[in-house]
Amino acid sequence: MDKQQAQEKIAHLSELLTRYNHEYHVLDKPSVPDSEYDQKLQELLKLEEEFPELVTPDSPTQRVGGEPLEGFQKVRHNVAMMSLGNAFNETDLHAFARRGREGTDKPISFVCELKIDGLAVSLTYENGKFVRGATRGDGTIGEDITSNLRTIRSIPLAISEQGTIEVRGEAFMPHKSFLTLNEEKEANGEEPFANPRNAAAGSLRQLDPKIAAKRNLDIFLYGVGEWENSALTSHSERLERMQELGLKTNPEWKKCATIEEVIDYINYWAEERPHLNYEIDGIVVKIDDLDQQEELGFTAKNPRWAIAYKFPAEEVITNLTAIELNVGRTGVITPTAILDPVKVAGTTVGRASLHNEDLIRAKDIRIGDTVVIKKAGDIIPEVVRVVEEKRPKDTKEYHMPEVCPACGSELVRLEEEVALRCINPNCPAQLKEGLIHFVSRNAMNIDGLGEKVIIQLFQEELIHTMADLYRLNRDELLQLERMGEKSVTNLLEAIEASKENSLERLLFGLGIRFIGSKAAKTIAASFETMENLQNASYEELIAVDEIGDKMADSIVQYFSEQEVIDLLDALRELDLNMEYTGPKQAKQDGVFADKTVVITGRMESFTRGVAKELVESMGGSVTGSVSKNTDILIAGEDAGSKYDKAEKLGVTIWDEEQLQQAIIVRSELP
């Protein structure tokens, strides 16, 4: 395919994927199955990899998150993002309406919108292109979070509107995403987010956009800061036009002729809010006519033409009958309050997470107590406080166990962690999930050993530890459902092949706290053998670049456990490789030592992945985009815009031949 053909194909795929994305994330009416979307996205990714100069900022591939930022730049809002005054009852609403009528000569009408509990942001489009996204900040100065906002799939990267348009809205985390995120944080021994708003704000203020991309955020747009060339006369017209442009607005807004209609709307959503898949904490009421908004103006802090009605928090009383302990995938022990079932915010609640021992102590929660509960963020049941005057006389302070309730191993509390943790790798309560992680793609990468097969093997008691995977035999496997000759042969061959994996895969597969795949590779390259790592001291670990206090502590603690020592001995006896076989650790005096390198274009002798490994093995750090901090651009054929930018910034540019020469020089060194 030549460049012209590629450009036409890329344009066609981009248009299709943008439409599919809008149908799925904005209209909630997908026209194609996920598999078709994924197939076309992969096709586009492959074309853009071959022709990187054809990648555009609004391509559907540009949502996955780029390189981590050093910090957020400040952004001045041309039109201030002001907060709203509050109303807490019908009297406040009537007073707001009266002030509106007194401030203008014409009859007034209202628009009511759900008050999304998230993070207020602004989006700026110039001639149809999304160019900047920012937080509200103090209303005048916010932070540039464009990279993170680009990862929200309901935000269009291009719209059919010329000139400058700046729209405002609320970025939020849907309930499902919030629950999934907190489950992961609790499993890792981390403090869960208190509510979806904190989770959304924390996600969008991550310096690494890839983190925001994984959090599955969404947005509803509700207002305008600037709109060049707009002749619209009402807020309701703006909402309709924004929706036409593909800017996602909340569909539940309503135009009301009287304040009584506004109150009816509020009462309706006070009852219906538990059925939404996102959190709201009130209703925003605005005077609809834009001329009247301008006529009414602002106080020092708030617009006079809008107000936020805040829902009262719902709290109920029930009895705490027991405290149940759960062992998570990573061994974290989570106490859960067992309650007499009670209805809260529209659903019946019988359990509430107590998170950790510190929370139980702080609230002095005891079995048999009468407690006040609510749903944190209207989602997660939470014990607010104890009703002490109703406490039975015979209650006792609750103490967490010293041993794991599932396996009896001694529990530990790692430094700076609030959670107790079982670090026995053979604990049955966490073993099953640990095995699924062990065989996963970034770990031992054993084809054919997916989650369903692991669960089947576990239920049939054919595996209990990681070592048992390497003791499976053909006859046992053939007895299982859906296991024929061919699948068994392929599975056993994949298991055998995994024995040759480099050390970093095994290290990551063990599931050591804080050790991700990147850290595992750094550690494996530094210590080279499992034996060296087992014998490494805290001081030796902390001396490795990118290994922090928590990681070093976690490694030392992990390898001190007898169960871990026994597991590794068993894996050695089963002939698993325990040495690092990847690129050797970069020398400090390597060709690319302390250099930031960007690789672009097509090369004859290397794939881009191989070139990246070679540069890193010679001390370089490879990033994806050219900036003033780039030291060297290695450019293959059709280098495109990165080449042009490097020339403009005065960055040193190498061709493929120079990279080959650097490899030859390195290979000749003693």
118 burial via Cβ count (<10 Å: 0-12, 13-18, 19+): buried
Q: Quote the pLDDT of residue 23.
A: 77
Look at residue 549 and give its three-state secondary structure. Answer: helix
Q: Are 307 and 87 in contact (CB under 8 A)?
A: yes
Calpha distance 535→527 (Å, rounded): 10
φ, ψ at 518 (rounded to 5°) = -65, -45
Cβ atoms 398, 323 nearer than 8 A: yes
Judge whether 115 counts as a catalytic residue. Answer: yes
Is 434 inside any structural domain? Answer: yes
Of 21, 39, 63, the one marking the end of a domain is: 63
- Whether the Cβ atoms of residue 143 and residue 205 lie closer than 8 Å to each other: yes
In a domain, 436, yes or no: yes
Token reading at 131: 């160019």
* Average of per-residue pLDDT across 419-434: 83
* pLDDT reported for residue 602: 79
- Number of structural domains in the chain: 5
**CA angle, 168 then 133 then 63, to 5°:** 115
Domain around 45: 3-63
pLDDT, tens digit, 9 for 90 and up, residues 497-536: 999 999 999 999 998 988 988 889 889 988 999 999 999 9
Terminal-to-terminal C-alpha distance of the chain: 45
Which of 292, 310, 328 is the last residue in one of the domains?
310
Regarding whether 529 and 449 lie in a shared domain, the answer is yes
Rounded to 5 degrees, φ, ψ at 431 are: -65, -40
> Six-digit token pair at 598?
């960007």
Q: Tell whether 31 is covered by a domain.
A: yes
State whether 116 and 250 are in the same domain.
Answer: yes
The verdict on 112 and 226 lying in the same domain is yes
Residues 267 and 360 in one domain: no
Question: For 430-456, what is the mean pLDDT?
Answer: 88
Q: In the predicted model, what is the mean pLDDT of the chain?
A: 87
Task: Flag whether 591 is in a domain.
Answer: no
Q: Amino acid letter at 657?
A: E
Same domain? For 500 and 570 the reply is yes
Q: How far is CA 40 from CA 12, 54, 64, 139, 513, in A?
A: 10, 17, 16, 41, 37
| Pair 92, 39 in one domain | no
| Length of the chain measured in residues | 670
Tell me the per-residue pLDDT of 273-299, one tens digit each, with 9 for 90 and over.
Answer: 888 999 898 999 999 999 999 889 888
- The answer on 258 and 216 residing in a single domain is yes
Is the separation of the CB atoms in 163 and 125 below 8 Å?
A: no
Show the tokens assigned to 109.
């009408």
| Residues 375 and 524 grouped into a single domain | no
Task: For residue 112, give Cα distances in angstroms to 222, 236, 309, 417.
Answer: 11, 10, 10, 45
pLDDT digits (tens, 9 = 90+) for 226-271: 898 788 999 999 999 999 999 999 999 999 999 999 999 999 998 8
Residue range 410-432: average pLDDT? 82
Q: d(Cα 189, Cα 264) in Å, to the nearest integer? A: 45
Burial profile 363-393: b = 16 or more Cβ within 10 angstroms, e = fewer: eebbeebbbebbbbbbbbbbbeebeeeeeee
Strand 316-327 to strand 333-344: parallel, antiparallel, or no bridges (unpaired)? antiparallel
Cβ burial 304-323 (10 Å sphere, 16+ → b, else e): bbbbbbbbeeeebebebeeb
CB distance 353 to 331 below 8 Å: no
Task: Tell me: do 42 and 143 sit in the same domain.
Answer: no
Q: What's the pLDDT score for residue 64? A: 57
Q: Are 111 and 255 in contact (CB under 8 A)?
A: yes
Dist CA 164 CA 227 (whole Å): 6
587, part of any domain: no
Report the CATH number at residue 189: 3.30.470.30
CB atoms within 10 A of CB 616: 20
Would you give the DSSP letter of residue 30?
-
Query: What angle is formed at CA 562 by the lines to CA 560 and CA 567, rounded to 5 degrees?
Result: 105
List the CATH number of the domain containing 646.
3.40.50.10190
**Does some domain include residue 398?**
no
The residue annotated as part of the active site, out of 115, 286, 374, 642, is 115
Task: Give residue 379's pLDDT.
Answer: 64
Instruction: Report the alpha-carbon distance of residue 661 to residue 596 in Å, rounded.
Output: 19
What pLDDT score does 669 carry? 46
Distance CA 285, CA 524 (A): 59
User: Do residue 374 and residue 431 come from a single domain?
Assistant: no
Reported as type and span, the H/E element at residue 164 is strand 164-172
The H-assigned helical ranges of 188-234 are: 196-204, 209-214
Question: Are 50 and 191 in a shared domain?
Answer: no
Final residue of a domain: which of 530, 559, 582? 582
SS3 of 413-468? CCCCCCCCECCCCCCHHHHHHHHHHHCCCCCCCCCCCCHHHHHHHHHCCCCCCHHH
Verify that 22 and 48 share a domain, yes or no. yes
Identify whether 397 is part of a domain.
no
| pLDDT score of 68 | 53
- pLDDT by residue (tens digit) across 63-105? 655 555 567 888 888 888 888 988 989 999 999 999 999 998 8
Is residue 410 one of the residues assigned to a domain? no
The CATH number assigned to the domain holding 332 equals 2.40.50.140
pLDDT score, position 413: 85
Residue 257 neighbours by CB distance under 10 Å: 12
Sheet containing strand 347-353, edge to edge, reads 347-353, 333-344, 316-327, 370-376, 380-386
Cα–Cα distance for residue pair 353/324, rounded to 1 Å: 10
Which pLDDT score, from 0 to 100, does residue 536 have?
Answer: 93
- Check pLDDT > 80 for residue 623: no
CATH number at residue 16: 1.10.287.610
